[in-house]
Amino acid sequence: MHTRDTLKVNEKGHLEIGGADCVDLAKKFSTPLYVLDERHIRNMMRVYRETIANEYGEGTVLYASKAFSCKAIYAIAAQEQIGVDVVSGGELYTAMQAGFPADKIYMHGNNKLPAEMDYALDCGVGTIVVDAYSEADYLDAAAKSRGIVQKVLVRVNPGVEAHTHAYVQTATPDSKFGFSVQDGAAESMIAYILGKKHLRLAGFHCHIGSQIFEKESFVLAAQKLLAFTLKIKNTLGFEASVLNFGGGFGVWYTDEDEQIDAEGYRSYVRALLETVKKGCTEHGLKKPAVVIEPGRSIVAEAGITLYTVGAIKEIPNVRKYVAVDGGMFDNPRYCLYQSKYTPVLANRAAEEPCELVSVAGKCCESGDLIGVNMNLPKAQSGDLLAVLTTGAYNYSMASNYNRNPVPPVVLVNEGKAEYIVKPQTYEDIVRNDVIPEYLKR
């Protein structure tokens, strides 16, 4: 278990997060339950913001909303003086409802809907990352009709292949995201946008993947993007004033992963910033503002999910199933990516694991698993199971499959816990159901 000051085993032998005993949390809020450690979230935001400010100067940290989005996370981001990126009208609406300053919002997406682009312009979103010719055309016309000039970046693929899961690679030539720098597509798109009167091109955006542990991947991406910046300066006379390197910093899920502390994440950013500074000097470029977009590394390890153990089924010489009151509706990542997690019996956290089990959910799917070959003490019905590092892409990817309610989210800090997403009820699930009149006859 990757412990820290705010995630540890307490004197009762219970798992404790943010100063709150998980057994007490389960009693107060029931299970399944997402729990987020506020102090860890704030610390990670500060690590990134302070590193850029102290090591480089002009730059911006954007919290990547897709990792976890709700009003409270935007309130925290605003207090920590960072920006956010959004990838849908829904994420943008949530940020605006939280009172987040629109000029510090970047909007992404490979297929932004016209209504989403209109909403972004009407909100005054600071920067929009263009990912299609049709987007450039629409934004230019929509900005003209409003009498404004919209700041934009172009998403490019620098051709860097990060060592990560194939489904989350985003910078290879074959990707739905961005324009390749290798075949001239990016240069053509840049020239196209430079011809738009109501779009102001500020620079370029890239994102090379997710769950990356090799600093060299970010260094190589920076080198390639700087070389491309020089090429565009020489061919089109445009020099980027903003370079956005996306996110993708890896986090610990199991002991197969590297455990990175705050200083470790600073070193990732330093390596990137040093590469930019060195490259600008070598190429004779003006030092651009640097933007990064961490999401997972801010919230993933801050979060755990609490479940109550129910049925236990042992199939001799095959496997043992330990079923919980959640499943793929609150964590679909095993089904999607075979993602690995670390489980802990939160009410018996000091006990040594002694058997390998498959943790199963309650959905009507054979593949509804939280994980296989998970090492636990001998679990019993009624035990409290905590799955660690679930702060990113769990709540945000949750569904009502089998009409199960999405669990609530509580924020913990110094032993205090409050809802930031209230429990979903059965009434919430059927709220938008309609029976046509002819079916009532």
Helices (DSSP H) in 98-194: which residue ranges?
Answer: 114-123, 133-146, 185-194
- DSSP codes joined into one string, 4-18: BTTEEE-TTS-EEET
Residue 325's nearest CA partner among 25, 10, 33, 21 is: 33
Count Cα neighbours of 185 within 13 Å in the Cβ-side half-sphere.
19
Place of tokens 């993602």: 339
Rounded to the nearest 5 percent, the helix, strand and coil shares of the chain are 35, 25, 40
Tell me the angle at which helices 185-194 and 133-146 cross, rounded to the nearest 10 degrees. 10
Question: In angstroms, rounded to a whole number, what is the distance separating the alpha carbons of residues 135 and 432?
Answer: 31
Catalytic position from the list 335, 354, 363, 364: 364
Query: Regarding beta strands 33-37 and 303-315, do their DSSP bridges make them parallel or antiparallel, or are they unpaired?
Result: antiparallel
Q: Fill in the amino acid letter for 13.
A: G
Pairing, β 384-388 against β 343-345: antiparallel
Q: Which two tokens stand for residue 79?
A: 């207090």
Residue 123 is among the residues annotated as catalytic for this protein: no
Q: At what angle do helices 185-194 and 215-236 cross, to 10 degrees?
A: 50
Which residues are part of the catalytic machinery?
A: 364
